[in-house]
Structure 1
Amino acid sequence: MGILNKITGFFINLFIFSWDFWLLIFNLLTPSLKPGHVVPSHAAGHNLTWPEYIPPKEGDSRSACPMLNALANHGILPHDGRNITFKELNTKVRQTFNFAPSFCFFVPKFSADFLNRSYWTGRFDLEELSLHNAIEHDASLTRQDAALVPDQGKPDQGLVDSLLKEATGHTADGKPLLTIPDLSRALSKRRIDARKTNQAYTESLFHNIFGSSNSSTMLTIFGGRLADLEPMLKEERFAEHWEPRVLSRFGLTMAKFNFTVLPVERGVKTKTA
């Protein structure tokens, strides 16, 4: 059964990456979406109007991911963060953040696999996605390491403040902006500090790339704009009139995303930071 699962997984991933490549090509050949019209008309957040933000209450389930928590805080996913299907996660992330369909299938499928559940029929609570060293990892830019703070459902305000202070870029109208070098520098400092403060610290190339991927959503989906990132990272809510900065008609593909992720990770210098 193990060999069969590996063979099946290989062909599923081959399909996903081929699908993703063609979506990249279609994005190049088709006109972009117009600003103000990125979220589909039938989805929450269309016309730059988001459902009411309600902070989590005691007993609600939250993950280590601010974006997923924001979906629950705004009621786009169940507000209690529980009993969510992987297919529902796919749809809501796609509609809200304009990730490509290939991207939105790959990550929930990966999550279902590490939770030993079926993507097609399984359900989960948001906190389960914080399984250590699956998607959640040490040296996060918004959370203390799980060995130090087991509850990964809330952001560490000090870490978020430190991250936002790294911004050196500016928008055309002079507002602060995070850049690729800013994120590389923030990750460098965070990994060095985590190694010093967490005796159980673990690090691998996979988790470093995942950390750079998580960080790179700030540059792609949020365009690096601090005005949008601050409420997302500190309160896990959408800024008023926010919409994704990715205007590609078929969404942000994994292939296109890597043009941001890889430069961010290459810029991390843990020996010289």
Structure 2
Amino acid sequence: MGIFKKVGETLVDLSVIAWDNGIALANLFAPKLKEGEVVPAGAPGHQRKWPEYVPPGPGDSRSACPMLNAMANHGILPHDGKNISFPEMNHKIRATFNFGASFCYFVPNFSARFLNRSYSKDKFDLEDLSLHAENAIEHDASLTRHDAAICPDQSKPDLELVHDLLATATGKMPDGTAQLTKSDLSKALSKRRADARKTNPKYSESFFHNMFGSANSSTMLTIFGGRVEDLRPMLEEERFSEDWEPRVLDRYGLTMAKFNGTVLPVERGVDVKKYQ
């Protein structure tokens, strides 16, 4: 990578972090969104009314990310999962899940980088995001997929892994239904990393991928509030449950700054040695 390009990317990242901190500060003073109105008017899912769910068919493109796949299955992203622009992914993720604007720019922009494409000009298919590489976001020891070296098709969840994950829930919602907690996720990640090390001869692990794995998992606690009843259809069928909406009520969306308050404890709680 040319030094000027690297410096330019670093400046962009620093700007996004500053932007994100500003949004986090604004959220402290802004009134919360009303339940039932989290998804903005005019967007699919407003007032908890989601477009029809249609499973992927032959030739449709899907990724290793259940949330992106669900957006395609409900027609929020193109149902075939192809020819998506990075700004389109940015704007639709923000409206669908109430992530902050800074968050929604950072991830697609990072995706464009590891795919060596232009954020503003190029397009991608969902399966492109499953690139298994050191600088990409797909990683070993996922909680919903077996490793790419064992299962090259990352487009579908492994139901045994999903069931094992949801069965670890020790929390309870006020109505008595099951809820995943931070410690549950730490335990699940510990077991998956230990198992992946044993079963995948090509297993790779880095601080970046571990943090990204904990971040992926932490969306279950933030966007879904850890509610197993909502997570089951998302993880098993990659669809939104009826009458669902994002559980983050911050007016300007979930920021990276606030999200780290969940991600870091989850990752700190991982202890692979207990399961080796």
Per the alignment, in what secondary structure is the counterpart of residue 238 of structure 2? coil
Structure 1: give runs of 5+ residues left out of the alignment: none
Paired residue for 2:145?
143
Paired residue for 2:129?
129
Paired residue for 1:207?
209
Paired residue for 1:13?
13
Q: C-alpha separation between the residues in 2 aligned to 1:122 and 1:167? A: 41
1:26 equivalent in alignment to 2:19 = no
Shift of 1:121: 0.9
Identical-pair percentage: 67
Paired residue for 2:38?
38
Shift of 1:272: 1.5
Q: C-alpha separation between the residues in 2 aligned to 1:39 and 1:108? A: 20
Pairing 1:224-235 to 2, within 5 Å after superposition: 224-235=226-237
Q: C-alpha separation between the residues in 2 aligned to 1:4 and 1:80? A: 37
Pairing 1:42-81 to 2, within 5 Å after superposition: 42-81=42-81
Given the alignment, which residue of 250, 253, 256 partners 2:252? 250
Given the alignment, which residue of 229, 238, 241 partners 1:239? 241
Structure 2: give runs of 5+ residues left out of the alignment: none
Equivalent position amino acid for 1:267 in 2: G
Q: C-alpha separation between the residues in 1 aligned to 2:200 and 2:126? A: 25
Shift of 1:7: 1.1
Shift of 1:250: 0.5
Q: C-alpha separation between the residues in 1 aligned to 2:56 and 2:144? A: 17
Pairing 1:156-171 to 2, within 5 Å after superposition: 156-171=158-173
Shift of 1:252: 0.3
Equivalent position amino acid for 1:103 in 2: F
Shift of 1:10: 1.1
Equivalent position amino acid for 1:22 in 2: G
Q: Name segments (4+ residues, structure 1) moved above 6 Å.
A: none
Pairing 1:170-185 to 2, within 5 Å after superposition: 170-185=172-187
Equivalent position amino acid for 1:14 in 2: L
1:87 equivalent in alignment to 2:94 = no
Equivalent position amino acid for 1:77 in 2: L
Cα deviations by residue, 1:5-36 (Å, 9 ceiling, x for unpaired): 11110110111000000000000011110111
Q: C-alpha separation between the residues in 1 aligned to 2:10 and 2:69? A: 31
Paired residue for 2:269?
267
Pairing 1:96-115 to 2, within 5 Å after superposition: 96-115=96-115
Tell me the C-alpha RMSD between the 2 structures.
0.6
* Corresponding residue pairs, total: 273
Equivalent position amino acid for 1:83 in 2: N
Shift of 1:66: 0.1
Equivalent position amino acid for 2:93 in 1: V
Shift of 1:173: 1.1
Per the alignment, in what secondary structure is the counterpart of residue 273 of structure 2? coil
Equivalent position amino acid for 2:243 in 1: H
Paired residue for 1:154?
156
Per the alignment, in what secondary structure is the counterpart of residue 185 of structure 1? helix
